[in-house]
Amino acid sequence: MKSKFQNVTGKCVDLSFEGKGVVKLSYGTVFVDGLFPGEEAEIEIQYKRAGSYFGKVHRLITKSADRIQPLCGVCTACGGCQFQQYAYDAQLKYKTNKVKDAFRRHGLDVKVNEAIGMDNPYEYRNKIQVPIGRDPHGHIVSGFYRSGTHKIIPIEKCYIENPKASKIIEEFKKLIKDFHYEPYNEDTGYGLFRHVLIRTSFHYDDVMVTLVTTQDAFKGKNNFVKEFIKRCPNIKCLVQNINSRDTNVILGNKERILYGSGHIKDSILDVDFLISSKSFYQVNPIQVETLYSKAIEFADLDRDDVVFDAYCGIGTISLIAAKKAKHVVGVEIVNEAIIDAKRNAKLNQITNSEFICDDAPSAFEKLVNDNKKFDVVFVDPPRKGIDEKMINTLLKLKPNKIVYVSCEPETLARDVAMLSKEYSIGEIQPVDMFPMTFHVETISRLNLKK
């Protein structure tokens, strides 16, 4: 469909918070996918939202010295990578500045260390989820949705995912064809397989596959499972997730284990973790060791320290910290995660930890009211940051140190600004957990003011 806007020519002066090129024109700002600072281009404006324009490069006029040839031929279409065409050093500089700018917007003039990058910023993702469908010629395809749509861009090799995943997906598509199953069609609501999710272990040869289906029972299931495992013997766990709803949500509420124990095992800093299909587990197994090593360094733990780990998930930070501290209490509101955390403590024979299913601020206050004293608090919240109740609880109960791990610089800076009433801001360290994308993880160290 032809755009109602005319093409414009402009020069990129910056990158936005979401990694889009920023072009300033007399009548407004245009955000452009795949345009980098210093580049001039003819821009096809696609739509206007909230007073700003959004577009794509129609013709590149001048190129940045930081523009490179991408490994992936469909990176500009799939929407998964914003920076495949951007030199890695430039990506790291952008991410460092992104964290600096977030703190500056919240009135905090602080020193931010340079982002820690990877030696090889490819093939790092240990978790992928891809839709299954048919192309216009009727061939079974998998890939990623084109940005802003539900049209599948067929991908045979994703350059940021673990290579094991691509091989399994290819065998899965062959099996669908061999067993005469139909992939799900969103338009008609007909078909069996909707998505395939793959989680790979870095330290062990373990792979978990979750098949999202529209119905529980299907003909030939047992033979299908046997043949899948035969063709892909590194699959240690095969899970079926049933999602019969007309929804964009990938996973349904009902699951059954088709093969294996329901878990795979991986390791972070010599602590083993069992991971289930819905466990939160960092997607970059190499950089997660960098991230957590730095978090433990910031905490400066000793054998007399008692630690509180808010938003503890399956116990990753808790159990790593327990090796250096006197005692660790991890709290998580998701009961399945707490079950996994307790199982992981037992797996590693770590006895100086306990895990509680509760709201983090409520649990923290209850424990302090029971005369429990915490020296260090770790917070690793979801993207929306720490809720106001937790902020107020920390300000009220005043632990000596807070180590804040964040996947969202804007909410990190907002929360640190509020905590700075009682805490001085120490080191701030970005870590590139997500190369080729605009995302960045950051650790902040806060010390109670004396």
- What pLDDT was estimated at residue 6? 85
Better pLDDT: 318 or 151: 318
Q: On the CB side of 287, how many CA atoms lie within 13 Å of its CA?
A: 26
State the average pLDDT for the chain. Answer: 94
- What pLDDT was estimated at residue 3? 58
pLDDT band at residue 25 under the 50/70/90 scheme: very high
Q: What is the DSSP string of 59-95?
A: EEEE--TTB---S-TTHHHHSS-S-TTB-HHHHHHHH
Asked whether the predicted pLDDT for residue 38 surpasses 90, the reply is yes
Q: pLDDT digit string (tens) for 410-449?
A: 999 999 999 999 999 999 999 999 999 999 999 999 999 9
- What pLDDT was estimated at residue 156? 84
**241: nearest Cα among 232, 233, 250:** 250
- Give the residues across from 410 on adjacent strands: none
**H helices of 83-220, where?**
88-105, 163-178
- Mind telling me the catalytic residues? 407
Contact 311, 415 (CB under 8 A): no
3-state secondary structure of 397: helix
Asked whether the predicted pLDDT for residue 267 surpasses 70, the reply is yes
Contact 404, 439 (CB under 8 A): no
Q: pLDDT digit string (tens) for 171-223?
A: 999 999 999 999 999 888 899 999 999 999 999 999 999 999 999 999 999 99
Element (DSSP H or E) covering residue 343: helix 335-347
Q: pLDDT digit string (tens) for 225-258?
A: 999 999 999 999 999 999 998 888 889 989 999 9
> What is the set of domains in the chain, with CATH numbers?
8-67 (2.40.50.140), 94-119+282-448 (3.40.50.150), 127-268 (2.40.50.1070)
